[in-house]
């Protein structure tokens, strides 16, 4: 990372961090040294932000789609212009390296998604148009959106929330995770260089602020990405104001490798389907079921990749895997791998911390010969440890894959893609990928089933999710 990028990151940080002696210290995920101090808003601060967003919303909606789209395109340009500084700050705060499918990739996704939001057209729907009546379904802004983001992809997922919301004429109050507030607040500051006042407001605070945001009477829509447990609390707290909800919650995504699949052909994609962002991705592959006929080949191929991928401080241009972002997540991964060891599972590679790299580094881990009922299989590890479960009966593999109470994503792998496509319908998940896992497209809807939440994001369906509908019905239109 160049000195100019570090300077740019420092300048962004100076714009948004709390004064000396105030706020909450945020550590570098890799080195644990303090990066800066995040503002800690109170409930009163949040109430004021919501009031300002509510006052700004009618004027923002009144600009119309064309002007709002132009401003969002300008905001995407502003993100691109500040991408290196934002990537530097993101890498330090979250831990993900600059290169690979990580920090720079995330910044590129932010501007790409924002541009797609700005240019996607949501047409009204003509319901009846005959000689007796004309009825049309139209989409209008919901009002004020409360956006509550996670710590794993803090910038990209924040854009997933605020981009479509702003496009449809809503204003947004965004609360970043307590673990990664600095990069989100910096990105919002960059966007606000071109957006009107109070259309987008970032509020960094604790769980009390988050609870107030989800229950506030002037919040019309809540978008949340995070754990299923927190999602349930948001559902409960939003009952009083009947805010509309889009919830992208926990996942324990399964992949199934069908008999006769060429292990070498799929190994690289299998690895990154599981280990992207050091496994800290909601839709990463968390458990892999492999037919006995190719089991050993798949395990060996994955282990070879895991043993060769460079891990370390994200600011080192050569690394593509980083640390766990926080101590609680590190402890979860350690506990689940240790439990697998105690059950007699085979640690093919990894299986331990890497203290020489830093406090929260855990080696990329492939666990073989593990029972399906092991905690590492049944619980979401959200880290760099992949259990590979052997099966002999394809029906049993699909039964195991579908037995958990979450269903965000899943994948089916085969040398014959059509065979995989035929099998995909058996998966109980919001998305099924064929010979890949976790890839997203800004025009392809994404959302979970079961305890992985509800509501769709991306594309036209994503615009609909941050709108309210109105039916306009009247006499037939004149020819």
Find the distance separating the first CA and the last CA of the chain, reported in whole Å: 64
C-alpha span between 177 and 205 (Å, rounded)? 8
Which of these, 148, 180, 204, 386, lies nearest to 285 by C-alpha position? 386
Contact 28, 35 (CB under 8 A): yes
C-alpha span between 207 and 259 (Å, rounded)? 47
Cβ atoms within 10 Å of 469's Cβ, excluding its own: 11
Instruction: Give the sign of the dihedral formed by CA 276, CA 277, CA 279, CA 282.
Output: negative
What DSSP line would sit under 228-297, residue for residue?
HHHHHHHHHHTTTTT-EEEEE----EEEEEPTT--HHHHHHHHHHHHHGGGG--TTSEEEEEEETTTHHH
Contacts of 267 (CB under 8 A, 6+ apart): 298, 301, 302, 304, 305
C-alpha span between 158 and 200 (Å, rounded)? 11
Catalytic residue among 84, 106, 110, 282: 282
Contact 65, 152 (CB under 8 A): no
Catalytic residue among 84, 93, 178, 248: 248
Is 25 annotated as catalytic?
Answer: no
Is 282 annotated as catalytic?
Answer: yes
Geometric angle at alpha carbon 256, from 375 and 322, rounded to 5°: 60
In the 8-state DSSP scheme, what is residue 196? P
Active centre residues (catalytic): 248, 282
């Amino acid at each position: 990372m160049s000195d100019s990028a570090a300077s740019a990151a420092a300048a962004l940080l100076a714009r948004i961090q709390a004064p000396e002696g105030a706020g909450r210290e945020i550590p570098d995920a890799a080195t644990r040294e303090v990066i800066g101090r995040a503002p800690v808003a109170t409930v009163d601060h949040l109430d004021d932000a919501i009031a300002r967003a509510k006052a700004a919303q009618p004027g923002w909606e009144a600009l119309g789609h064309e002007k709002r789209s132009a401003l969002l395109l300008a905001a995407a340009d502003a993100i691109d212009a500040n991408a290196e500084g934002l990537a530097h700050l993101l890498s330090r705060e979250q831990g993900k390296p600059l290169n690979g499918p990580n920090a720079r990739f995330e910044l590129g996704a932010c501007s790409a998604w924002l541009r797609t939001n700005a240019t996607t057209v949501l047409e009204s729907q003509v319901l009846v148009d005959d000689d007796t009546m004309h009825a049309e379904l139209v989409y209008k802004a919901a009002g004020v959106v409360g956006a509550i983001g996670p710590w794993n992809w803090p910038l990209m997922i924040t854009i997933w929330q605020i981009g479509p919301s702003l496009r449809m004429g809503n204003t947004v109050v965004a609360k970043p995770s307590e673990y990664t507030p600095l990069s989100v607040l910096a990105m919002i500051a960059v966007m606000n260089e071109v957006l009107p006042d109070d259309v987008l407001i970032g509020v960094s605070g604790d769980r009390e602020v988050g609870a107030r945001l989800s229950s506030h009477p002037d919040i019309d829509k809540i978008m949340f990405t995070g754990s299923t447990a927190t999602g349930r609390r948001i559902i409960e707290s939003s009952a009083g104001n009947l805010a509309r909800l889009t919830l992208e919650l926990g996942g324990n995504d399964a992949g199934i490798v069908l008999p006769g699949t060429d292990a070498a052909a799929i190994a690289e994609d299998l690895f990154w389907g599981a280990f992207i962002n050091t496994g800290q991705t909601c839709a990463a592959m968390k458990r892999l079921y492999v037919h006995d006929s190719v089991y050993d080949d798949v395990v060996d191929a994955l282990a070879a990749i895991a043993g060769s991928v460079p891990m370390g401080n994200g600011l080192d241009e050569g690394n593509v895997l980083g640390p766990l972002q926080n101590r609680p997540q590190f402890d979860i991964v350690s506990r689940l791998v240790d439990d697998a060891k105690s059950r007699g599972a085979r640690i093919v590679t990894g299986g331990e911390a890497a203290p020489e790299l830093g406090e929260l580094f855990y080696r990329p881990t492939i666990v073989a010969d593990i029972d399906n009922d092991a905690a590492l299989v049944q619980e979401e590890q959200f880290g760099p440890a992949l259990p590979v479960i052997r099966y002999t009966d394809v029906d049993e593999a699909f039964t195991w894959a579908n037995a958990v109470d979450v269903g965000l994503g899943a994948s089916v792998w085969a040398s014959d893609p059509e065979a995989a496509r035929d099998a995909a319908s058996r998966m109980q998940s919001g998305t099924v990928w064929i010979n890949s896992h976790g890839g997203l497209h800004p025009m392809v809807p994404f959302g979970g089933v079961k305890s992985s939440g509800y509501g769709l994001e991306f594309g036209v369906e994503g615009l609909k999710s941050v709108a309210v509908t109105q039916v306009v019905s009247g006499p037939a239109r004149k020819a």
